Structure 1
Amino acid sequence: MSETYDVVIIGGGPGGYNCAIRAGQLGLKTACIESRGKLGGTCLNVGCIPSKALLHASQMYASAQNDFASMGIKVGKLELDLAQMMSQKEEAVDGLTKGVEFLLKKNKVDYIKGFGKIAGKGKVEVTGLDGKKQTLDAKNIVIATGSEPTGLPGIEVDEERVVTNTGALSLTSVPKRLILIGAGVIGLEMGSVWARLGSEVTVVEYLDRILPPADAEVAKEAQKVFKKQGLDFRLGMKVTGVEKLKSKLKLTMEPAKGGDSETLDADVVILAVGRKAYTEGLGLENIGVTPDKRGVIQPVDGHFKVADGVWAVGDCIPGPMLAHKAEDDGAAVAELIAGKAGHVDYNLVPSVVYTNPEIAWVGKNEEELKAAGVEYVKGKFPFMANSRARTNHETVGFVKILAEKGTDKILGAHMIGVGVGEMIAEICVAMEFGAASEDVARTSHAHPTLSEAVRQAAMGVEGWTMQM
């Protein structure tokens, strides 16, 4: 008989490999199954990591084109080497996937390449990449299979001309005309990359605003900035189809509230209308579990347990579909299995859009607080008045902090500006400890730094901003 594992994890993405590493650290006999053939999941292979490599490289290219001369830096003829840009992206991905594999080995986790399926209570059937099957016995099974792009009726994805984030990260040439369906995080990041590299980008969005989860004031400011960067927005439009012609694509759309249809021509269309949990074919019916129409599994304990001895993390359960949320889920589940405390506060999971400028937020936004009838006070500070931002010529955006009226407890923070993806962590820590805005306002920040804008916004809650 085969040896029984304490934990068998299906999926080697951020949720899965963090769960595996933590379980190994806690002395649990652990196996991690991954069907991709490489660890890291969507995030590391075709999501967070490669997109950031292209965002960084494309921003350097755009800066050399548009900003260097004004700072006294003269360059010769500037050329784009797209093949090399893609190559350095792959080098980063390859190094990180090997790093994850090393960490599993270091923590004595068995890494099994194949497709895992729950065959019954305590049983996981694995179909290897070579087609051979084996069954693992497990005291605990963790579902960490992540998510996949959501499709739209009338649109056939081929990952060459009509692409998801996967194809958008591997285009072999810069499309002259690019249409982006969806004005969410993934879409705006991909649109930014290709706009910087020379594409004419049109963003088609069903809603009447961009970035639906973001604070409305931040989203409005972001749209102004992106428009200046060359993105053309068609809001309140429903895409009804994409026709593939020999020399071009023809996208058909109509007003979401009704009206005459229109067509747009494109060389490439990126479909970025959201994601759905990847839970099909996992044998959930064998343990009496039925996911919802988006593939999401509802935990029976309100946290991570979905059946006796079966847990789920990351995109497979409710909560923000973010890699760092999955990481936290994975570690928490490993700790719960080991008999320790494990918990994740989803209200304190930050969101970041890695455009230029970046957009970041945590906690409640103004619209949510108003809808809930919560009285709050707002402090806001523009980067235009920040010394470091002025010297860096990066003055777009602001920091806004929302605190509960009466108690001054921080309820949320919303930022748009260069580097705010790093700055949001300060507010996450403050909120984790139940801090008041005054706590941040009275914490010394080095001068001159961009992070002073966070302190000044906190000062602004009680009306004692010190800078311009």
Structure 2
Amino acid sequence: GGCCLNRGCIPTKALVRSAEVFTTVREAETYGTRVQGSVALDMRAVMARKRDVVAQLVGGVERLLAAADVDVYRGTASVPAPGRVTVAHQDGSSEQLETRYIILATGSRPKLPPVPEDHLRLTISSDDALELEEVPASMLIIGGGVLGVEFACIYHAFGSEIRMIKRSPLLLPPVDEEISRRIMPVLKKRGIKVNTGVFIKAIEETSAGRRVICDTKDGGEVSFEAEKVLVAMGREPDFGDIDLDALGVEHDRKGIKVDARMRTTCEGVYAIGDVVGRTYLASVASHEGMVAVEDMFGEGRDMDYRVVPEVVFSSPECASVGLKEKEAAERAAETGREVAVSKFPFSANGKAVAMGETTGLVKIVADKATGEVLGMHILGPHASDLIHEGAVALKARMKAEDLARIVFAHPTLSEAVMEAAHGVDGDPLHIAASRRP
């Protein structure tokens, strides 16, 4: 495990922040600030700051473990039998541990395209992209999703020419389909090229870098060239070379099978996080860990996946929680119900206008008869923060009217949530009918 802190969420967010600052300084005159001389990016300093951020947070976790009197064994673990763990140390020694319960949290590894291994050596992984100390002139990103879009936005801001290629038409499957559709033209307008419906079959070395050869969905062939080729196709469970079959732990390529208390099919053995293969989010892994430990101590509660915010730190940000519009409509149709959908654009929000970040909207999906909030989806500034208003509403099973009648501070981005809530039962207050998204 440990992907998020060491090779995922945290280091990428450090790079996102550097990209934001660099972009803001370059556009400083828009806000009435003149910068003397040229603005340059120091990539070595960017990476040094990223490493400092990671080290600070890793150190914090280590101190928390020490304060809780947790023993940490450094080495490679194997599980020869239930209740037994073998730790192999780097010096060649090993030791046996006996325990009543075991939690498997071995994490995940990057997915790879279906090309020969010698072709893959011509690519870089998301781990490698977190260590580049020079900005490549061009970068071809294989895959969309959270990883691909975030790295596309980061390196485009740093100055790379970016092209993304993927098989499916939607760039961001984890979020609401409309949000995924809306962000594609935004990225293209900013200069990020996107090609969908292509299937990779080979990667070649050229004098200028790399060439990726693909089949197209209509039977043709197309190729793309770039200095660097980044594989960002998402992640898949990594079982850490533990012999799950010998343990009697049921699993498949999608992950370890667990029940609602995170128990595997082997008594006393639990599994949490990416290795379960359900949701590749550190926040979910933490909650799964709490559910597992509470079950060990007889304080059982089931893991609840109904309210899990998903965030993409793109530019602008995307976020979703609860049912997507299509999912809500399908479920409603099965029971003879209907859904109501309300949207409010950031172009009509005072704080967004003052910030100069008006791209995007807040979208609320609700039950038409009761007004209960079923989902919230956001494209725009600070979507990663605003989405938790939707998460609270979903957890409390609030109605859109409940959100609409809260007095929101003004001017704030959160007012867009309030306005969208007003639109479920009537009309947003601060938008004319002709301007509705």
Fold conserved between structures, TM > 0.5:
yes
- Deviation track 1:270-305 (CA, whole Å, cap 9, x = no partner) reads 1111211011411212321242123x0111x34410
Paired position in structure 1 for 2:327: 368
Is 1:261 the counterpart of 2:221? The answer is: yes
Tell me if structure 2 keeps the 8 A contact 1:352–1:421. yes
Asked if the contact 2:106/2:240 (under 8 Å) is kept, the reply is no
> Matches of 1:349 and 1:157 in 2, distance apart?
39
* Structure 2 residue aligned with 1:58: 19
Residue 376 of structure 2 aligns with which residue? 413
Q: In the alignment, is the contact (CA less than 8 A) between 2:236 and 2:277 conserved in 1?
A: no
- Decide which of 285, 307, 312 is 2:271's aligned counterpart: 312
Change in CA separation of 1:164 and 1:158 when aligned onto 2, cut-off 3 Å? farther
Alpha-carbon offset, residue 180 of structure 1: 0.5
Aligned to 2:435: none
**Cα deviation per residue 1:326-359 (whole Å; 9 max; x = unaligned)?**
1111111111112113333212110000112110
Where in structure 2 are the equivalents of 1:145-184 lying within 5 Å? 145-154=106-115, 156=117, 162-184=123-145
Match status 1:141 vs 2:102? yes
Q: What does 1:188-199 correspond to in 2, within 5 Å?
A: 188-199=149-160
Q: Aligned partners of 2:100, 2:256: CA distance in 1, in Å? A: 20
Aligned to 1:445: 408
- Amino acid aligned to 1:73: T
- Partners of 1:308 and 1:158 lie apart in 2 by 43
Equivalent position to 1:105, from 58, 63, 66: 66
Contact 1:383–1:453 (Cα < 8 Å) also in 2: yes
Q: Give the drift of 1:444.
A: 1.6
Match of 2:300 in 1: 341
For structure 2, list consecutive stretches of 5 or more residues without a partner in the other structure.
Answer: 432-437
Task: Please say if residues 208 and 226 of structure 2, whose CA atoms lie closer than 8 Å, have aligned partners that are also in contact.
Answer: no
- Over 3 Å off, 4+ runs: 155-161
**1: distance between equivalents of 2:49 and 2:120?**
21
Q: CA distance change for structure 1 residues 119 and 277 in 2, over 3 Å: closer, same or farther?
A: same
Does 1:74 pair with 2:34?
Answer: yes
Aligned Cα RMSD in Å?
1.6
**Normalised TM-score (structure 1):** 0.88
Larger mean Cα displacement after TM superposition, 277-286 or 455-464: 277-286
> Would the aligned equivalents of 1:358 and 1:417 in 2 still touch at CA under 8 Å?
yes
Q: Which amino acid aligns with 1:55?
A: V
- Measure, in 2, the Cα distance between the counterparts of 1:269 and 1:95: 30
The AA in structure 1 aligned to 2:267 is D
**Residue identity in the other structure for 2:290:** A
- C-alpha distance in 2, partners of 1:81/1:310? 47
Provide the residue aligned with 1:286 in structure 2: 246
CA–CA distance in structure 1, aligned partners of residues 56 and 210 of structure 2: 36
Whole-Å separation in 1 of the counterparts to 2:116 and 2:160: 22
Secondary structure of the residue aligned to 1:352 is strand
Indicate whether 1:223 and 2:181 are aligned: no
In structure 2, the partner of 1:21 is: none
Amino acid at match of 2:39: L
Unaligned 5+ residue runs, structure 1? Answer: 1-12, 14-40
Alignment partner of 2:310 out of 337, 351, 354 = 351
Query: Contact (CA 8 Å) 1:313, 1:330: kept in 2 or not?
Result: yes
Query: Which stretch of the first structure deviates more once superposed, 306-315 or 361-370?
Result: 361-370
Distance in 2 of aligned mates of 1:267 and 1:344? 45
Please state whether the residue corresponding to 1:305 is helix, strand or coil.
coil
Q: Percent identity?
A: 35
CA contact (8 A) 1:403 1:437 kept: yes
What does residue 26 of structure 1 align with? none
Aligned counterparts of 2:15 and 2:277: Cα–Cα separation in 1: 30
SS in 1 for 2:74: strand
**Matched-pair contact (CA < 8 Å) for 2:260–2:303:** no
Give yes or no for contact 1:161–1:267 (8 Å, CA) kept in 2.
Answer: no
Corresponding residue for 1:37? none
2:91 maps to what in 1? 130
Q: C-alpha separation between the residues in 2 aligned to 1:402 and 1:342? A: 28
User: Aligned equivalents of 1:264 and 1:464: distance in 2?
Assistant: 47
C-alpha contact 1:178 1:199 (8 A) present in aligned 2: yes
Q: Distance in 2 between matches of 1:109 and 1:419?
A: 36
The residue type paired with residue 388 of structure 1 is: K
- TM-score if structure 2 supplies the norm length? 0.94
Distance 1:46 1:435 in 2: 37
Q: Judge conservation of contact 1:441–1:455 (CA < 8 Å) in 2.
A: yes
Aligned partners of 1:157 and 1:163 also within 8 Å: no
Q: Distance in 2 between matches of 1:319 and 1:157?
A: 31
Q: Match of 2:72, SS?
A: strand
Matched to 1:274, the amino acid is G
Q: Which moved more, 1:370-379 or 1:394-403?
A: 370-379
Whether the 8 Å contact between 2:108 and 2:238 is mirrored in structure 1 is: yes
Which residue number corresponds to residue 428 of structure 1?
391
Does structure 2 conserve the Cα–Cα contact (< 8 Å) formed by 1:206 and 1:238?
A: yes
Matching of residue 276 in structure 1 with residue 233 in structure 2: no
* Distance in 1 separating the partners of 2:233 and 2:327: 22
Alignment counterpart, residue 456 of structure 1, candidates 376, 398, 419? 419
Does 2:346 align with 1:388? no
Shift of 1:50: 0.5
Do the aligned residues in 2 keep the contact of 1:163 with 1:269 (CA within 8 Å)? yes
Indicate if the aligned counterparts of 1:218 and 1:415 stay in contact, CA closer than 8 A.
Answer: yes
Offset of residue 155 of structure 1: 5.4
Q: Distance in 1 between matches of 2:242 and 2:338?
A: 45
- Please give the alpha-carbon distance, in whole angstroms, between the structure 2 residues aligned to 1:42 and 1:322: 10
CA-CA distance at 1:189 after TM superposition: 0.3
- For 1:251 and 1:202, the matched residues in 2 are separated by 12
